[in-house]
Structure 1
Amino acid sequence: MNSPADGHAAATTDTLRANELSLGYGARQRHVTVIDALTLGLPDGKVTAIVGPNGCGKSTLLAGLARLQLPESGAVLLEGKDIHAYKRREVAQRIALLPQETHSPEGVTVHELVRFGRQPYQGALSQWSEEDQRLVAEAMAAADIENLADRELASMSGGQRQRAWIAMALAQQTPLLLLDEPTSALDLGHQIEVFELIQRLAHEEGKTIVMVVHDLASACRYADHIVAMHAGRVIAEGAPAEVVTPELVRKLYGVECRLIPDPDTGTPLLIGVRRTSERLSGSAT
């Protein structure tokens, strides 16, 4: 198993990384540190899945990586520079974030939603252009939703809506995509639909994708790189076949299991899963 102490993260090529990053919330007397001195590199052009039990700090870490939260100490480095040294528009031209909960105005169509992705490039001297329209069309094609352009989001299935939101993020033309539980509340068929799109964006278009994933089995199948978190710390990271072991599953989730290679992908497949009393103590948010 690879862990931060093994120096595994330092060997990766990473445009976005956390360096001794600590994040928390609350006033002084009620302050809670959620992420504690975390150092992490995110490999370029790969799908990275952040996994761990509820309350371990996954979403907080993603918010910090997206510049939505000031660090208590340490830094998030984007292209080697502190992310908070960039202007907000500059970050939006490099990183697209899709939060777990998305909201759109009533009656908005798919095409109108995807157009919002071009906002970081709009301004007094830069109005809507043919180039913007071309990039919107390309984003919709990449997400396979061209035929849904005039549909209202409210009339579509969960998988279709999620693909529309991903298309909006693609229209930002950023090399990095951060996704917080992109398949939450989707049925199995729509989950596969979204995960396969994410894989295609990384492997065929070279996007660097970081996603918080609730389901370890899906993370093993669709991610190139696993980051396992517990209580605000990274306890293991690396390729799924290297990182995911019965011992790690027991420590994270308090369950026993056996692992076999998936017959289609060769990635770890959890079988014989059952509860156990052994589990790491501590939590974050």
Structure 2
Amino acid sequence: MPSAPDADPKPGHLYVVGTPLGNLEDMTFRAVRLLQAVDLIAAEDTRHTGKLLAHFQIATPQISYHEHNRHSRIGDVLHHLQTRQHAVALVSDAGMPGISDPGYELIAACIDAEIPVIPIPGPTAAITALCVAGLPSDRFVFEGFLPLKGKERTARLDAIAHEDRTIVLYEAPHKLIKTLEDLVVALGGDRPVTLGRELTKRFEEFWRGTLGEALEHYQTTAPKGEFTVVIQGATREAPVLSNEAIRAELEHLLRQGLSRADASRQLAKATGQPKKTIYQLSLSIDTDESTN
């Protein structure tokens, strides 16, 4: 059986390694092998990652790379990659690095420095929740954490309110009720939503309903654990056209050579009005006149 292209981590390469959201059985064989073989691991929390490494008997040394030291640490990691020619792995506390954490800044710095960046795929909370939300998943937008307050939060909520793709958010338990309150105001209480908490962990739970119902539920049931919120996108309402406007469009379609049935079917789909009603209106149009 042929070996993987990166069977041995290459010096001067950054490996972006996905780690479990909670269940350690979600760790991939490839991720274990890479973490065992690299020279250094840049971890969001070395204590947290240390437990993961101990479980898989990985003795690779760590340095911390997180939100509060990222500016100084980027230079350190680049030094290891460029000068010492080390192979370095980047991990976050859970999931794929760079998704709603400062890992993307290190990744961007490596790309700017022409250092190869190799992804080692693993779990991601956004996709994990989206695929079982029961909401449209063919098109979606990931919003991460909303701005905490002020004009930035208001502007983001307004944009989300008009977004027709499924929306995925992250939220901490102590901020969930406030976020649900703001979402109800901005999007309306009837918008379908799925909330996943403690994904892949012992107390994993999915709650499904509307935003209004979710707010009522979590006002009486204290939110616990990290939440991934999946919201159905806005429905674009078909324009309401007058009979005169529909007749004019029918005449246009008939002049193009469409049959009355095909023209009526096309307009019914575009306007949301009954095909039978539009077809009856088409009967009042003289096809000879419409082709002149």
Under a length normalisation based on structure 2, what TM-score does the superposition of the two structures give?
0.28
Bigger Rg, structure 1 or 2: 2
Flag the structure with more relative contact order, 1 or 2, with Cα contacts below 8 A and sequence separation at least 6.
1
Under a length normalisation based on structure 1, what TM-score does the superposition of the two structures give?
0.28
Say which structure is richer in helix: 2
Say which structure is richer in strand: 1
